[in-house]
Structure 1
């Protein structure tokens, strides 16, 4: 199955929802308007459709292998990565002073969706490098930045995150990897890290590992964790490569999906200690970790949309060509393509509407991050920062949960053929299954939404988001079209349900924390669907405005139909989520742990 990047929808979002030309007025983004975005995305689509997407199925059949302390990636990956790096695709959003293109994050998000849809396993190498780059830009020393960032951004080297250990998953306070100070200011590291994506590979000459470890005498728990940079190959003072460091891949995991991505068990210090360099200050590793983690969480949300869109495209193509059954209510006796059947249309519309709502939410989040960084008004910068931070658990949590629904529906559209590996539909589901798990499970995102994003400020930002949505409702009311009226009504009901949940969380988070957190995931799902529906409502308004000018009538009509479907079939579930939060905790907690 081929892949075609959804450039029409991406450019529509950039033009009408993000208002990219307004972003391009910000300092440093002067050359990043719509003409630039259109050219960049067109070239990104061309390269990934031709060079990366054809490797997707091959990677599932021929995953990376480890032998003689070396990992060999899927045939074709090495050449594709070389061309990907030469094209500058690892540096789209990164600082120009280190070789990046310094484009807005929202353009980079669109590029990220394209490569992840083309080949999720391939794109994971880029994702982890981007997270390492984000951490070094934020908290690395000048010397570290000068030494490592140009090579990471150019793709000459790649980066990883080394957080998880056999006994320490999401609870990084349990990390046991130890770091011993050396007289020359370096550290020797000893320990084992698991689930390290692209921890070892043959794509580049060096790999830069960012690692959490504990220095001798450090406080217990998260307050005693530090972050270190540990290169696979040591770097000489002149920037050339020196000797191999004491780090290697002990094994590769055998996984349900993303098989072409080498997920390594990494061993540090088996032969005297791996040389590492402290990032920032000792015992502030958890703080620095979130520089990487937040970058990765946003990127994983993008992966959710990407894999869902790949599954949707294949489902539509199959539904158009698969002839089966007679059309309901038709007089003709012949069989028809299954896309003529109402329930197949329902499934495809659910897939389409959720993908487009989540894509628009991600673009809104990326634009907010750009504004938070560069807007000249400090008040706007803070407001957009808060908005982005609120969206982050929704982007990571809701968009990845959405991908499971959509890829599962993709199999259902295929019927029995979807359960057969040769069609490729099953791979999308298997690949997507990791997305709600890594970089913080859905429950972790939901707990973040409750604790840091709602309780901490008494629901202030949540209510501000609701106020923004209410403003869109007023614009929909002014439209007067039947579709706008239906979307407005659904948005209003969902927004009111959301506010009831916010009030409940704020009122009871202190005195009944278990009861509140028992409803954290339904709260996240309600918030995610509300924001996605809001963005589709904004898209409907933009489509109506643009249609009045007589542009792209077929695309704009489909945009309006998509928003209406989401309102009538997805947003209507808001009261169910609300009730699960407000009254469902007692049944969640009714049984004692030893009764299960």
Structure 2
């Protein structure tokens, strides 16, 4: 398997992405030579520094010692090297000591790092999200204190939302924040906190939602930064336990207790949840990158194995490689197609998010918001599904630990759960992106996809994708009309989101010239549309 090949595929896909050409025109510091050099360096770092940690992290796992998490051998040094090389702050503001490159380049490099060691990169993902959150919501003093320390990796951060009785139902959060002696104090319990405790950094800041008033639901929630230590002294933040999990053994998932912990209010009181999306959105994009990293590795393993493993054929001659068997050819095609379509879609979203910040085009922001639940959901599913399919190619060899596929499968499973479950993403895609936004992001998607079809020479594949787009537009009109019967609409939300992904995938397949995939996607779109009937 080749990290360098993954970097080359990313560069080639960027060149096919229309938004990337526009972004390069706005950011001349991101010319092709610089981008190729950066991706080459990322591939080398991921292969030589991160990848050797992956099996160790899975085998040893995170441990608790003296009321603190101790990470597997090599993790602390790997994280230090990652931060010192500038990867942690690659898209962070220059004011924090970051490189301030476009998000697209970060999204191009991240799958390489997650392919190397996803468990360690869970820490980097939360800290990156906190950097963006503080840049948007923190007061000047807090931003100046925390931003550079997070970028350097000296300090780290978490996102603290879930509680025992409040998972996806955020409005039921009971952790309380009270104003005492001129400062805020936090009391409550948080669970499912990735890297809530660890020995990577000397200080951890918890980006936490807590209730500051008696208003029901999310309206009573405010956002805080809660340091685990202040002035070198403990700040009422303790580790209760770490979870025993199916995968990601090197990434500690913690239950945390806060007892009168001093906190810093971020942004406006009572607007905690909407403000937190400055952190949630890059983390959801990162989920797509995680899935892409694992899918890229799984595809490479399956392809490499198929060129070496010999089975079948006439008994009187040497057996052929299994890569020559028609059914294996089909399996490899499906694995590679799904991986490259996801790669194209991740880069499409990242460029849209960059352009939405650089240009006064509200439509791009709507389009990015529309794409985000798709990338989060189907990045997660593609990571899992490709590992599953690659195991099938290898047969018994894929099921044992001689190959990392079984670890990829276990590690990937949680991606469809954290950062908003698949069901939550489907509700968002229907009720917010179609109903509340009145289909504005959908309209941009259809306009851009049809413009790309129109710019190409007429062909049967362009016609086939056009039919898918027309079908999804008609389906969206029917789902828009179902607001009068919300229960019936919500029952169909998952199928509607899947129809949306097949439409996006058909667009990306056209861009990549993946003709066979277009026919398969058209059939899938018809199935998902039928389930919405």
Q: Matched residue of 2:395: which SS?
A: helix
Deviation for aligned residue 1:460: 3.5
> What corresponds to 2:219 in structure 1?
223
Deviation for aligned residue 1:366: 0.7
> What corresponds to 2:343 in structure 1?
359
> What corresponds to 1:304 in structure 2?
291
Deviation for aligned residue 1:498: 0.8
Q: 1:201 aligns with which of 193, 198, 201?
A: 198
- 2: CA distance, partners of 1:358 / 1:487: 19
Q: Is the 8 A contact 1:249 1:267 kept in 2?
A: yes
- 2: CA distance, partners of 1:20 / 1:227: 34
> What corresponds to 1:502 in structure 2?
476
Q: Which runs of 4+ in 1 moved over 6 A?
A: none
What per-residue deviation string (whole Å, max 9, x for no partner) do you get for residues 229-266 of structure 1?
011121xxxxxx53222112111111001110011111
Q: 2:103 aligns with which of 105, 109, 112?
A: 105
State whether structure 2 residue 474 is matched by structure 1 residue 490.
Answer: no
> What corresponds to 1:537 in structure 2?
510
* Paired residues, number: 533
- 2: CA distance, partners of 1:287 / 1:457: 16
Deviation for aligned residue 1:309: 1.1
Runs of 5+ unmatched residues, structure 1: 235-240, 479-484, 541-562, 583-596
> What corresponds to 2:173 in structure 1?
175
Deviation for aligned residue 1:4: 4.5
5 Å-filtered alignment, 1:67-466, equals 67-184=65-182, 186-215=183-212, 217-234=213-230, 241-269=231-259, 273-326=260-313, 333-375=317-359, 378=360, 381-466=361-446
CA gap 1:460/1:279 in 2 versus in 1, 3 angstroms: closer
Deviation for aligned residue 1:322: 1.4
What per-residue deviation string (whole Å, max 9, x for no partner) do you get for residues 398-457 of structure 1?
221222221110111111222223322111111110011100011111111101111123
Q: Matched residue of 1:533: which SS?
A: helix
Runs of 5+ unmatched residues, structure 2: none
Q: Is the 8 A contact 2:461 2:518 kept in 1?
A: yes
> What corresponds to 1:552 in structure 2?
none
Q: Is the 8 A contact 1:21 1:33 kept in 2?
A: no
- 1: CA distance, partners of 2:333 / 2:99: 37
State whether structure 2 residue 524 is matched by structure 1 residue 573.
Answer: yes
- 2: CA distance, partners of 1:71 / 1:461: 43
Q: Is the 8 A contact 1:166 1:194 kept in 2?
A: yes
- 2: CA distance, partners of 1:319 / 1:54: 24
Deviation for aligned residue 1:20: 3.6
- Could you state the TM-score of these two structures normalised by the residue count of structure 1? 0.87
Q: Is the 8 A contact 1:387 1:465 kept in 2?
A: yes
CA gap 1:457/1:276 in 2 versus in 1, 3 angstroms: closer
- 1: CA distance, partners of 2:264 / 2:19: 42
- 1: CA distance, partners of 2:460 / 2:117: 37
Q: Matched residue of 1:249: which SS?
A: strand
- 1: CA distance, partners of 2:484 / 2:522: 31
Q: Matched residue of 2:416: which SS?
A: coil
- Could you state the TM-score of these two structures normalised by the residue count of structure 2? 0.97
Q: Is the 8 A contact 1:349 1:565 kept in 2?
A: no
Backbone CA RMSD of aligned residues:
1.7
- 1: CA distance, partners of 2:265 / 2:104: 32
State whether structure 2 residue 485 is matched by structure 1 residue 512.
Answer: yes
Q: Is the 8 A contact 2:62 2:70 kept in 1?
A: yes
Q: Is the 8 A contact 2:223 2:265 kept in 1?
A: yes
- 2: CA distance, partners of 1:259 / 1:159: 19
- 1: CA distance, partners of 2:512 / 2:198: 42
Structure with max Cα Rg: 1
- 1: CA distance, partners of 2:379 / 2:215: 37
Deviation for aligned residue 1:538: 2.0
Deviation for aligned residue 1:2: 6.7
Deviation for aligned residue 1:334: 2.6
Q: Is the 8 A contact 2:364 2:444 kept in 1?
A: no
What per-residue deviation string (whole Å, max 9, x for no partner) do you get for residues 99-131 of structure 1?
010111110101111101111101111111111
